[in-house]
Amino acid sequence: MWWSRRPASLRRSSALNVVLPLARGEFLTVYDAEDVPDPDQLRLAAATFARSAPEVACLQARLVIDNTDDNWMTRLFTIEYATLFDVINPGLAAIDLPVPLGGTSNFRTEILRQLHGWDPWNVTEDADLGIRLALAGYRVCDLPSATLEEAPSAWKPWYGQRIRWMKGFMQVVVTHSRRPIEALRALGPRRFFAAVTMTLGTVMTALGYPLFAALTLFAIYEGTWLATRTPLEAFKSGIGLTLFAAGLVAMLVPAVVALHRRGWWRLLPYVPLLPLYYGLISVAAWQALFELFRHPVRWHKTEHGLARTSRSGRFGAAEKSSGAAGPAPVLPALVEEGDAVS
């Protein structure tokens, strides 16, 4: 096992590329420094690879928020991750569509070397790698194994993390839209449309969300959606109502499905807050767009080890023993600048 603790000037993807030639095994797994994977995750990944087709290059494990009960932000983060890793990504993998990777991933080492590892200039190098795997003709499959991660519980670290993620998705869009005809030929129409939806669609939705939300609220306030006077107004109103309803369904229904699959019904009251939560992501997206031009490779580091609650029992031990209400991390704070490669 190699542990990479990189200096501030060296991004995670660069550190991973440095150690990739040292990997000796047939399979390679990447963990963030704060990850707590299921004890049998590596055995499950090896067994799954053994019975998978050779074109299955990566198994995406399911990330689960460790410190759900810290506050309202970590609860919404938990719902978001459950939606992505328990509903959306497994669905994409099941019908052989491109999957922008995120977090814990298991690879066939030789295929990773063929693709020359990670893009050192992309600040969400895992999402970029997922698209490159698809373009090379490989598949990503779901690994039904949980890896616990700590979510930021305060605005500043959460905001910085989201800026980096949104900027990285913008970089993915810029990188892989330079040769659209070649990408269409490599992926085929169905997979190409899915890749565009998951990358460009994610960016455009985040950037356009404040505008469409404002127009929707204004229309509701004015009553123009329901008080139409001409066929053209009725048509425009019908389109607006349909898009509004479809957006709400796309936002809320997968979240409810995810909570059902996990049995986390106590988080259901927080689902109506998702429109506000995604509004905050839009704020980060606009800042990311600004940084894309001014500071394209700036890496907003995320401090870890500050959680008050934990599924794994890593945090909050002092609180449980003393009944104190304040933060009491039992591990030293970590900065998101290290990965374990095994």
CB atoms within 10 A of CB 121: 14
**Assigned fold of 2-204+298-341:** Spore Coat Polysaccharide Biosynthesis Protein SpsA; Chain A (3.90.550)
CB atoms within 10 A of CB 118: 22
Task: Report the C-alpha gap between 255 and 253 in whole angstroms.
Answer: 5
What is the model's pTM? 0.86
Helix (H) or strand (E) holding 128: helix 125-135
Task: Report the C-alpha gap between 16 and 341 in whole angstroms.
Answer: 8
CB atoms within 10 A of CB 202: 21
CB atoms within 10 A of CB 68: 23
Q: What are the φ/ψ torsions at residue 12 (nearest 5 degrees)?
A: -60, -45
Which residues face 76 on adjacent strands? none
Contact 340, 30 (CB under 8 A): yes
Number of residues in the chain: 342
Half-sphere exposure of 223 (CA within 13 A, CB side): 2
What are the structural domain ranges in the chain? 2-204+298-341
Contact 89, 145 (CB under 8 A): no
What three-state secondary structure class fits 266?
helix
* Tens digits of pLDDT across the chain (342 residues): 333 333 333 466 678 888 899 989 999 998 888 899 999 999 999 999 999 999 999 999 999 999 999 999 999 999 999 999 999 999 999 999 999 998 788 999 999 999 999 998 899 999 999 999 999 999 999 999 999 999 999 999 999 999 999 999 999 999 999 999 999 999 999 999 999 999 999 999 999 999 888 888 787 777 767 777 778 777 777 787 888 888 889 999 999 999 999 999 999 999 999 999 999 999 999 999 999 999 988 888 888 888 899 888 776 543 443 333 333 333 333 334 444 444
List of long-range contacts for 176-182, beta carbons under 8 Å, 24+ apart: 176/128, 176/131, 176/132, 176/135
Task: Report the C-alpha gap between 4 and 117 in whole angstroms.
Answer: 15
Write out the DSSP string of 149-202. EPPP-SHHHHHHHHHHHHHHHHHHHHHHTSSHHHHHHHHHHHHHHHHHHHHHHH
